[in-house]
């Protein structure tokens, strides 16, 4: 608990610097481009369009939900959070090398560095949420209480994957092999996380329970409950239990790994 208290204290004391650097990191992405922010959202929009065409038009796998929501909302419910998670699984698992100068020259608190990257990526996610809601209302869906699950999912996603980034970055700074492992796992995680298939339609209960231990599947399920299924995520207790278990284990692992490696990171870098 002492390690957790120290991490939270450092995050709070350096909150202004963390927020400022996170927003500055976001501005660097569009610097020098005439259209600026357009390019930040162009890639996700193209990906969504291509997947929608391939799955609904090409493979004819799309259908409407019982609430009348079209397939595009189900697809976006999985892909929109994936764009945030993908960044964490990519550059986010090695942020200490990405922000090397903060570690070796400024002596910035290590727990705040993953948050810098998470903030810049999170702002993009908020823009994608706006796009999701625009499509949601264009499809004729109405404002209801189920949509409150989106901000809840955003908070859970930010906290969990920021914690995950701190854990993996600590290991990546010590071992390049771990970094290579995480890069290798990124693509399999996409295909096995229920982003483009419905885990809840799998009839094998054991396999379904194993897949629901994946926090990515839980976040996607929350988005889809809000905009497509029109139900509460806690009506699917297997998904909630799996997320709580993995969250607790990841928190413990993060605290243990950070406590054992934080003094070595600056020396290694």
Over the stretch 50-105, which tens digit does the pLDDT of each residue have? 888 888 776 655 555 555 678 899 999 999 999 999 989 888 888 888 888 887 77
> Looking at residue 265, what DSSP letter applies?
H
* Nearest to 223, CA basis, from 56, 89, 82: 82
Sign of CA dihedral 184, 129, 234, 253: positive
Residue 139 CB partners (closer than 8 Å, separation 6+): 69, 70, 72, 73
Q: Does 110 map to a domain? A: yes
Domain contains 60 = yes
Give the count of domains, the chain.
Answer: 1
CA atoms within 13 A on the CB side of 150: 23
Contact 125, 151 (CB under 8 A): no
The answer to whether residue 254 sits within a structural domain is yes
DSSP codes, 159-194: HHHHHHHHHHHHHHHH-HHHHHHHHHHHHHHHHHTT
Domain span including residue 107? 2-26+36-268
Mean pLDDT of 135-158: 92
CB 115 within 8 A of CB 162: yes
Give the pLDDT band of residue 171 (cuts 50, 70, 90).
Answer: confident
Please name the helix (run of DSSP H) or strand (run of DSSP E) that holds residue 155, with its range, or none. Answer: helix 149-174
Asked if 218 and 239 touch (Cβ cutoff 8 Å), the reply is yes
> Does 13 fall in a domain?
yes
pTM of the model: 0.89
Please name the residue ranges forming H helices in 14-148.
15-30, 37-52, 71-89, 95-98, 100-104, 112-138
Would 117 be classed as within a structural domain?
yes
Residue 150 lies in a domain: yes
Helix-strand-coil split of the chain, %, nearest 5: 80, 0, 20
Q: Is residue 230 part of a domain?
A: yes
To the nearest whole number, what is the mean pLDDT of the chain? 85
163, 190 in Cβ contact below 8 A?
no
Least confident of 87-91, 149-153, 179-183, 240-244: 179-183
The encoded tokens of residue 229 equal 């299924």
* Distance (Å, whole) CA 46 – CA 192: 22
Supply the pLDDT for residue 146.
92
More confident residue, 26 or 114: 114
pLDDT value for 179: 78
Q: What is the pLDDT of residue 85?
A: 92
Residue 31 lies in a domain: no
Q: How far apart are CA 75 and CA 62, in angstroms?
A: 9
Share of the chain above pLDDT 90, in %: 31
Q: Give the separation between CA 258 and CA 170, rounded to whole angstroms.
A: 7
């Amino acid at each position: 608990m002492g390690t957790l208290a120290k991490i939270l204290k450092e995050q709070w004391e350096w909150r202004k610097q963390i927020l400022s650097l996170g927003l500055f990191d976001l501005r660097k992405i569009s610097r020098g481009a005439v259209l600026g922010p357009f390019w930040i959202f162009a890639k996700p929009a193209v990906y969504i369009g291509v997947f929608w065409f391939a799955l609904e038009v090409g493979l004819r796998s799309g259908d409407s939900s019982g609430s009348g929501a079209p397939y595009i909302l189900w697809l976006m419910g999985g892909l929109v959070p994936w764009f945030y998670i993908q960044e964490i699984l990519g550059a986010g698992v090695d942020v200490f090398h990405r922000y090397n100068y903060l570690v070796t020259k400024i002596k910035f608190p290590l727990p705040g560095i993953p948050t810098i990257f998470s903030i810049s990526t999170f702002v993009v996610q908020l823009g994608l949420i706006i796009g999701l809601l625009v499509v949601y209302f264009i499809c004729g869906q109405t404002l209801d209480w189920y949509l409150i699950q989106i901000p809840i999912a955003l908070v859970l996603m930010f906290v969990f994957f920021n914690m995950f980034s701190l854990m993996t970055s600590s290991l990546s700074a010590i071992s390049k092999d771990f970094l290579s492992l995480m890069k290798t796992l990124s693509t399999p995680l996409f295909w096995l996380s229920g982003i483009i298939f419905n885990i809840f339609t799998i009839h094998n209960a054991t396999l379904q329970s194993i897949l629901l231990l994946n926090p990515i599947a839980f976040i996607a399920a929350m988005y889809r409950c809000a905009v497509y299924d029109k139900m509460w995520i806690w009506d699917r207790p297997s998904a909630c239990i799996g997320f709580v278990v993995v969250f607790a284990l990841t928190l413990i692992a993060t605290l243990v790994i950070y406590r054992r490696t934080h003094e070595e990171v600056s020396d290694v870098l």
